[in-house]
Structure 1
C-alpha cells in the first residue's frame, strides 16, 4: 500500500452490536463521524432453547435479528461470531465456581474482560479495523501529562457504566471508542427514533444472558447435573434456627426468601460452604469497614506505591464512599472505608475513583469489621 493510499484510508471501527438501542446508536455515531463500520454480534450462549420472551436479557436470537436489521439499514457489513465454547469456559464455569465457593460472581464484568474487549479487539486487528466500539456509558481519554489512557464516568449519572469496565487495559483503552459517554439516555433514544431503528424503544437488558429468569441456582443444577442439598440456618451464636435449601441459593445481605420467623428481620451474614451452613442475624452484622481485593487492574496509575485517598463502589449502582487504599501485594490492595459499608461481598468488584476518573479496581476476596 502506498503512502498516499494509506493516508486516504478511512479509519475502520468494529461495532459490538448487542441488538440493543445503545450499540445501534454508537454505530450510527461512528458512521456519521466518517468511520468505516463493521457490525459484529458475539454469540455467547445457545439460549434459543430458553424461553426468553418478556425477559430483559441480551444475546438471544431476537437480539441478533435486531442487530442485523440495524446494520442492514445503515448499509454496513455485519457478522455473527460464535464464542460459545470460550464463553462457557471463561464465564459460565467461573460463575459456578465462585458461587460454589461462597462468593457472588459478576459475570458481566468477566464478559467485558475476557470476551468483548479481548476477542473482539483481536478480531478487529486481524481484519484491519482500528477501533472496537461499544454502547457503554463511559468515556475514554488520554492524559496529556502522562500519556496514559483514562477511563471516566459517563455524563449520564443514572447510566454510568464505568464500574463494569474497570478491567480494561492500557492496550485495550487505546483502541476502544465509547461514543455514548457524553450523552444521556434520552438523547440516545431520540437519535434511534430519528433513524427509525427497529429497537428504538427496546428495553435495556438487565438479566444475566445465560440465566434469563434470574434463578441461578436452578441453572447451576441443570448445567452441572449436581444437586445442592439442604443444610442448617444458624444464628450468629452458632445455634440452629432452621433449614435452608442449599447454601449456594443465598447471598450476603439477603433478607427475602429465608422462610424464618425469628421475631425480628434477619439477613444472611455469612456462609460456610464446606459445612453447608448459612448464618443469619440482624442487619448490623452486615457492616464492614475493610475490604481486601485481588486480580487488580490499575488504569490511571501504573501501580499503587503508597496510601491514596479515593472514593469506592462495592456494587454497580452504589453511591461512591470515601476510603483510603493501601498496597497489599503485587496484585492486591486493602481498602479502608471512612464509614462501615453494608454487605461488601467476596466475588464482587470494588472499583476506585478519583473524581470522575477510574483509578482501578479488583475482585473482593474478604472483608473485615476493622
Structure 2
C-alpha cells in the first residue's frame, strides 16, 4: 500500500468483500521520492487506520538499491534505457513482499495494479490486460511466474479509473490526491541525469553527435542524457527535425537521423520470459508492445534458444530502444516478453 487511490481502493474493496486484510507497505527509498518513501508510509497508515486493519511497514531499501537502482544506473552508463518498474515488480512488489506476506500467513497478496489474473482450464494462471486500456499495467508485469500469479489478487482488473475514484470518494477514504507523474518514483522530477551522475561520475564524458552521414554536428556531455527516439534537447540545429537513432557506447557517439531513419522493422531480444513457464514451439504470431504506451503491432517472434528471440514486425516501428521491454500479447493475454538488445 502506498496510500494512493488505487492501493487504498483495492484494500477497501477486499474489506467490503469480507476478507481479513492487512496493509503492507515497503519503505524502499528516501524522503522526497514517490511511491516508496516515508511519506507514503504515513499515507498508507492513515488509510489502514480508517479501514480498521493492521498495517505493517517493511524495510526494502537494500533490495531496492541492489536490484533496481544500481542496475538502472549501470544501464544508463552502458548507453541503454532501462525499465526499473518491471524489475521492481519482479523482485520487490511480487518477490520481497510476497515473502513477507507468507510470513504473515496470508493467503493472497493484492495490489492496486490494473491487470487481471485467471486460472484457466489448462490448470495454469494467465495474466490478462485490464478492462481499462488507458490504465492497463500488464506490460510491467510480464516477467511474473506461475508461483507469483497463483498468490495474487487484482481487485481493480475490471474497473475504469473514474469508477475507482468515485468508489474511493463514496467510501470516504482519507486519500491526499497527487498528480500521476510519468517520471520514476525514486528520482526527483527532471533530475534523472543528475541522479545517474551522482551515483556514477564516470558517465560524464564528452563526445560527438553524428548525422546519418557520420558528420560531426554537435557535442554532448554523456550518453546518459539521451535515449533512442528523443527529439528535444539535442543541442543541434540541422534545418529539420532530428531524433536520436543510436547510442554508440564504444565510441561515445550519439547518432541522430530524421524520423524515417529511426523507424525499424526488427529487434533482437534477450532474457525472454514466458509466463506459462514453457517456450512455445516454432514461431509465434502475436502483438508485440515495444514500450508501455504502445498499442502493440503484429509481428512474428522467432526463438533462438538460450532466452533469445528475434521479433520481425509487419510494419516499421518508431525507435525500438535497447533496454526497454518488448511484451507479447494475444487476445488480451500477456504471454511473456524480453529485453530489446538491438534493433535493425
What TM-score range do you get, normalising by the shorter chain?
over 0.9
Instruction: Kindly indicate whether the alpha-carbon contact (under 8 Å) linking 2:270 and 2:341 is maintained by their aligned counterparts in 1.
Output: yes
TM-score when scaled to structure 2? Answer: 0.97
Pairing 1:349–2:325 present:
yes
Match of 1:294 in 2: 270
The equivalent of 2:230 in structure 1 is: 254
Judge conservation of contact 1:288–1:343 (CA < 8 Å) in 2: yes
> Is 2:94 the partner of 1:89?
no
Choose the corresponding residue for 1:42, options 13, 26, 38.
Answer: 26
Deviation at 1:200, TM superposition (A): 6.3
Counterpart of 2:136? 160
Q: Deviations over 1:204-247 (max 9, x none)?
A: 35321221213211001112344512211111221111111211
Indicate the SS of the match to 2:311: strand
The runs of 4+ residues in structure 1 deviating greater than 4 Å are none
Identify the residue that residue 285 of structure 2 maps to in structure 1.
309
Q: Deviations over 1:101-139 (max 9, x none)?
A: 111001011100111100111111122101111100010
The alpha carbon displacement at 1:61 in A equals: 2.7
User: Residue 311 of structure 2 corresponds to which residue in structure 1?
Assistant: 335
TM-score (norm 1): 0.90
| 1:191-270 aligned within 5 A | 191-199=167-175, 201-226=177-202, 228-270=204-246
- 2: CA distance between counterparts of 1:274 and 1:242? 18
Query: Once the 2 structures are TM-superposed, how far is the Cα of residue 191 of structure 1 from its aligned partner?
Result: 1.0
What is the alpha-carbon distance in structure 1 between the residues aligned to residue 267 and residue 153 of structure 2?
32
Gaps of 5+ in 1: 1-16
- Distance in structure 2 (CA, Å) of the matches to 1:98 and 1:248: 9
Structure 2 counterpart of 1:25: 9
Q: 2:203 & 2:341 partners in 1: Cα distance?
A: 26
* Deviations 1:287-327, CA, capped at 9 Å, x for gaps: 11112112222124621211121001011011111111111
RMSD: 1.4
Among residues 105, 110, 122, which one is paired with 1:133 in the alignment?
110
Measure how far apart 1:90 and its partner are: 0.7
Deviations 1:255-300 (A, max 9, x none): 1001111111111111112321111111111111112112222124
2:322–2:339 CA contact under 8 A, matched in 1: yes
CA contact (8 A) 2:28 2:37 kept: no
CA distance in 1, matches of 2:47, 2:76: 37
Unaligned runs of 5+ in 2: none
Distance 2:332 2:101 in 1: 29
2:261 to 267, 282, 285: 285
